[in-house]
Chains A and B, each alone.
Chain A
């Protein structure tokens, strides 16, 4: 009896420890979100979104240049990365037997594990070093490179969820393969593909490391992709590591904006994906 009781106590104790682990694991999330809101919300104002940074030491600036910069850089990255990633994902799902599929999938996994800073060095060597000046476009290229493997894998996984009978039905009706792929398979999975794309956009909007020596950052509003450009994550980094109290407040506010953007994109995408594919487990 004693042994039995002991075993039961051990079992319960372990479960208790695991619950503790859950609590400890969730603490940082609440702490971070709480601090962001407490420290950042106070500095949010219309001026923060619409004005340019004030000279160092003065109050009352904004980060309009960084918001515009992030939109442009991420937009350009999506224009390159999304079509390429989605098309390659369709290839991998539609021609599963081909050797290229195996290679591409493997390479996508390798790229997925590649640190973003390394991709930044690549974009620097490829574009910045040859052009001899920093440019937002190099940053977009690096971000696109980070997007491709993510989009590719989600597209492929989503297409694989489509039941084969749907494909067979279309082919039996005399649809050519390309129309089957585009009008039946891709269309059925469109919500999944959109979700995957949104997740990828969310992921790269917060990326800082690949922009450090490509887009570089700037104190001015710039719309020229061929020039250095500010971006929200870079602003957070510069202001957080800078010496001024005022800068630190801006860093918190900018981080709050950044995380809101990222969360809205990724939470929205996740919820959409769950509703759509919950039946498939």
Chain B
């Protein structure tokens, strides 16, 4: 810190009345400053409006032609210009839910361990390392998935599941490498850091009195967590999970590389499938006609609407727990 001594204002009567003008200048500066910032801040809602408008313009052809039937029909034929996105929507939801089934127990386990049990020395480092998972680009997950994960799954986990749980329709049929299951697993790895870090923030926002009261009543440490801490943070944790869902729904590259890209619905998790984001990524740059492009833009539009709804819901829940503390928003 260097302190500069401001020159003492000398109380000399000024002959020219320039003093007020510096005040005026300051207020002009304020007005200008505020204007510039307002312009920047206002540009962002304008951009969003523009985004919605452009998506609508891009998909107008398909919206007029197929309407809401687009959501429920399954035919995807670029040559005949018949499009229905049901398999895509199904694939998106199924792969995301599969990812959550795997990721939620893991991330909650990690989050609870880190906030409640872990020795202080490892809390930050572990959280940091798991945070690194969020920094890995999606395309690198895809690369790793193709060349490492899929070969491992194809020779170990998949045959094992088919042998032991083969009576369930989910684990039947031929084992390809790229499949709904592979995509679900890579998605689980990708959304885990988000769910972990937001639920960790939420758990840290739980007041210590909750824990102390439970422990004072004779609860074990685990009982204190499960009866007093987690219920207190419940809606925040649900928010974290929904936020993870939002990430999973829109995840593109890794899924595109691992899901097998087939416009079909299959009961088996070993079968290739498709998602909305993957279809856009694969087909957009080589779409065969305006209707095909428009149908893909329609898919993007639907994906946008779904993620907005999901994210808004998640944020509402997180705000309810951690209002004002900024918890949650940090992790986003």
Contacts and interface: CB of A to CB of B under 8 A. Distances in A.
Interface of A: 7-8, 10-12, 14-15, 17-22, 24-26, 28-29, 31-32, 35-36, 39, 83-84, 87-88, 90-92, 94-95, 100-101, 103-104, 107-122, 124-126, 129, 134, 145, 148-149, 152-153, 157, 160, 176-179, 181-182, 202-203, 205-209, 212-213, 216, 233, 236-237, 240-241, 248, 251-252, 255, 258-259, 262-263, 266-267, 270
A29 B144 CA distance: 11
Contacts of B41: 87-88, 91-92, 100-101, 104
Contacts of A10: 220, 222
20 contacts: A22-B113, A35-B147, A84-B40, A87-B39, A88-B41, A100-B38, A100-B42, A109-B332, A113-B307, A114-B307, A117-B277, A118-B55, A121-B55, A121-B284, A134-B285, A212-B285, A216-B285, A236-B140, A240-B257, A259-B140
Given A104-B41, A203-B135, A262-B137, 20 more contacts: A18-B113, A22-B113, A25-B133, A32-B141, A36-B140, A36-B144, A83-B40, A84-B40, A110-B48, A113-B307, A117-B281, A121-B55, A125-B57, A149-B44, A157-B329, A176-B27, A208-B138, A236-B140, A255-B140, A270-B131
A26 B285 contact: no
A132 B257 CA distance: 28
A18 B277 contact: no
- Report which residue of A15, A24, A202 has the largest number of chain B beta carbons within 10 angstroms of its beta carbon: A15
A115 B75 CA distance: 25
A15 B39 CA distance: 52
User: What are the 7 closest A-B residue pairs judged by CB atoms, nearest first?
Assistant: A115-B250, A206-B137, A21-B109, A113-B311, A178-B33, A176-B26, A87-B40
A32 B128 contact: no
A84 B44 CA distance: 9
B40 A19 contact: no
B139 A255 contact: yes
B68 interface: no
Interface stretch (B81-89, B157-165, B262-270, B297-305): B297-305
A29 B134 CA distance: 10
Contacts of B144: 31-32, 35-36
Nearest to A205: B137
B188 to A, nearest CB: 9
Contact of B50 (A100, A115, A126): A126
A203 B222 CA distance: 37
Q: How large is the interface on B (under 10, 10 to 19, 20 to 34, 35 or more residues)?
A: 35 or more
A207 to B, nearest CB: 7
A24 B130 CA distance: 11
B58 A121 contact: yes
Given A25-B106, A113-B246, A108 B44 contact: yes
**A interface, over-half SS:** helix
Contacts of A110: 48, 308, 311-312
B253 interface: yes
B29 A179 contact: yes
- Report which residue of B30, B54, B249 has the largest number of chain A beta carbons within 10 angstroms of its beta carbon: B54
A87 B37 contact: yes
Contacts of A202: 135
